[in-house]
Structure 1
Amino acid sequence: MDPLTAALPLAAARRTIETALAHAESLQVAGVGIAIVDAGANLLAFVRTDDCFLGAIDLAQRKALTAVRFRASTGSLGALSGDGPLRGIEHSHGGLVTFGGGEPLVDGNGRCVGAIGVSGGSVDEDTAIARHCRDRFHATLLTTR
């Protein structure tokens, strides 16, 4: 990869958001916020639908930040927090989200190049949308280069 080329191009982030919006619509989730961060935990792209409640804005961004910082899904971190081996982790880094809806985005070389955070539906809906995007990310990345 060219060192001057971003590991997570804006075009790939936009396509990932479009994929998330389409999947949310297919699941009939009306109000969602979708955040994409790069590998350095910097917000790269964000969108919210008209019916999105205001709290979902912060939650979507925090889910993406949590997923990229730990290169793990927020739901899997949640399973390890509480009384688990990562007890109290949700209180670190200014507040992490340890329930579903955040997924790391990995390139074809297995490198975490960013993350997606989705909020606005139920935890199961947010998780389904984020995983859908995660599972299609490599193909999305290839079509934008």
Structure 2
Amino acid sequence: MNALSSTALSLATARRTIETGLAHAASLQVAGIAIAIVDAGANLLAFARSDDCFLGAIDLAQRKALTAVRFRAPTASLGALSGDGGPLRGIEHSHGGLVTFGGGEPLLDRDGRCVGAVGISGGSVDEDRAIAEHCRVRFLATLHHER
């Protein structure tokens, strides 16, 4: 079975998504990043970090991917929901390790089902978010191209 036609996220696809993220980070001149890919069950599938990545980015990238897959939503969208007065106010404190700022994006298949997520850390929040969004868009474009 072709992994791209399945609802499962393959290791090969995860690795391609990581390479896409690393290349986009380089094009933005963002150094020192970590990229984590988790499957739909929130299991770490693939991970890479650049040589100059700071230690905290390693954990944050994984937590961003986990948050995005658990909520089936970009981590940035949880920020407004979890802030003062938001319907999910303080959720990051009740669910240890959730991240409510940019850098995590769900990966959806052709039918809109979440098959995993990508988490980026090491740049600014805006840079992490841009790289994660690029990974999501390229992931979906690859699925449509392979059709």
| TM bucket normalised to smaller | over 0.9
Unaligned 5+ runs, structure 1: none
Q: How far off is 1:143 after superposition? A: 6.4
Q: How far off is 1:36 after superposition? A: 0.1
**2:14 equivalent to 1:7:** no
- AA aligned opposite 1:107: D
Give a deviation string over 1:107-128, Cα, whole Å, max 9, x none: 0011000000000000000000
Q: How far off is 1:105 after superposition? A: 0.2
Q: How far off is 1:135 after superposition? A: 1.0
Superposition RMSD in Å = 1.8
**2:118 equivalent to 1:116:** yes
Q: How far off is 1:144 after superposition? A: 7.3
Unaligned 5+ runs, structure 2: none
Number of matched pairs: 143
| Structure richer in helix, relative to its length | 2
Task: Report runs of 4+ in structure 1 exceeding 6 Å deviation.
Answer: none
TM alignment of 1:21-60, pairs within 5 A: 21-60=22-61
Identity, in percent, stands at 83
Residues of 2 paired with 1:29 and 1:92: CA distance?
32
Conserved in 2, the CA contact under 8 Å of 1:12 and 1:140? no
TM-score, normalised to structure 1, is 0.92
Q: How far off is 1:14 after superposition? A: 0.5
TM-score, normalised to structure 2, is 0.91
Give a deviation string over 1:58-105, Cα, whole Å, max 9, x none: 000000000000000000001111211110111233220000000000
TM alignment of 1:125-144, pairs within 5 A: 125-141=127-143
